[in-house]
């Protein structure tokens, strides 16, 4: 299972990359705005910086909502760096844009996916990744993990090549459950990645080892 960081914060991306577990980055307009990155030139520069930090795929989301705008923007984003994956929302125009870009061999990440039907359409259109949002489904009392299981099963049944990129990850159990479900990728906020690291017995155990070492060497 690949680990992506869901962030546009360069320090967080660097730190996650230094852990040696990072396979890529996803961003969205909200995450870019959170970092104060505005204006197309600054956004492009920021994507370049992200691509310099990591080796893997970097999802860059279009802002346009119409087909022509999406493909224009998608082609410009893809020109930034070969690592760029164009993130396109699951809409009618989005689907058309995904098919167009797939035919041009530009990889896409179909985002804002909340149902199995949407995931099937994304795969049929040739999306490289599909991004079902677990946390936002959980937020409305719908089990987001069930969606991940269903998509993985259906993609396996029909040997769809689209990779399941579980998004809107809110806590470590989402990551573990995605691994059990067979999701290809999880994209997580930095604090959720680091939360996987910690265990109180590790801390207690280390403290005891070091205390015993100090006793033996005093
Ligand atoms: O990048 C899309 C997704 O991961 C957003 O997560 O926490 O805003 O629902 P969240």
Tell me the catalytic residues.
87
Phi and psi of 172, rounded to 5°? -60, -35
User: Atom 4 of ligand 1 has which residue's CA nearest to it?
Assistant: 168
CA distance 152 to 31: 27
* Binding-site residues, ligand 1, Cβ < 6 A: 6, 26, 28, 133, 135-136, 167-168, 187
Phi, psi of 125 (to 5 degrees): -75, -15
* Structure tokens, 200: 């109180």
Residue nearest to atom 3 of ligand 1 (CA): 168
Map 145-211 to HEC letters. HHHHHHHHHHHHHCCCCCEEEEECCCCHHHHHHHHHHCCCEEEECHHHHHHHHCCHHHHHHHHHHHH
- Backbone φ, ψ for residue 132 (5° rounding): -75, 140
**d(Cα 159, Cα 81) in Å, to the nearest integer?**
29
HSE of 185 in the Cβ direction (CA atoms, 13 Å)?
27
Do 185 and 162 form a contact (C-beta atoms < 8 A)? no
Tens-level pLDDT at each residue, the chain (218 residues)? 999 999 999 999 999 999 999 999 999 999 999 999 999 999 999 999 999 999 999 999 999 999 999 999 999 999 999 999 999 999 999 999 999 999 999 999 999 999 999 999 999 999 999 999 999 999 999 999 999 999 999 999 999 999 999 999 999 999 999 999 999 999 999 999 999 999 999 999 999 999 999 999 98
């Amino acid at each position: 299972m690949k680990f992506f960081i869901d962030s546009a914060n360069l320090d967080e991306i660097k730190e996650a990359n230094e852990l040696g577990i990072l396979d890529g980055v996803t961003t969205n307009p909200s995450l870019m705005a959170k970092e104060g990155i505005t204006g197309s030139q600054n956004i492009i520069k920021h994507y370049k910086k992200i691509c310099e930090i990591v080796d893997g795929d970097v999802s860059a989301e279009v802002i346009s909502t119409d087909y022509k705008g999406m493909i224009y923007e998608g082609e410009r984003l893809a020109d930034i760096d070969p690592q760029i994956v164009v993130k396109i929302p699951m809409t009618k125009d989005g689907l058309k844009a995904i098919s167009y870009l797939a035919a041009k061999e530009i990889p896409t990440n179909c985002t804002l996916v909340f149902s199995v039907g949407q995931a099937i359409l994304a795969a049929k259109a040739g999306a490289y990744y599909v991004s079902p949002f677990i946390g936002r489904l959980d937020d409305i009392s719908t089990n987001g993990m069930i969606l991940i299981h269903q998509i993985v099963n259906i993609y396996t049944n029909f040997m769809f090549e689209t990779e399941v990129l579980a998004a809107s990850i809110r806590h470590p159990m989402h990551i573990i459950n995605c691994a059990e479900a067979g999701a290809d990728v999880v994209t997580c906020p930095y604090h959720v990645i680091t939360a996987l690291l910690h265990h109180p017995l590790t801390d207690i155990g280390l403290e005891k080892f070091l205390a015993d070492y100090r006793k033996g060497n005093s």
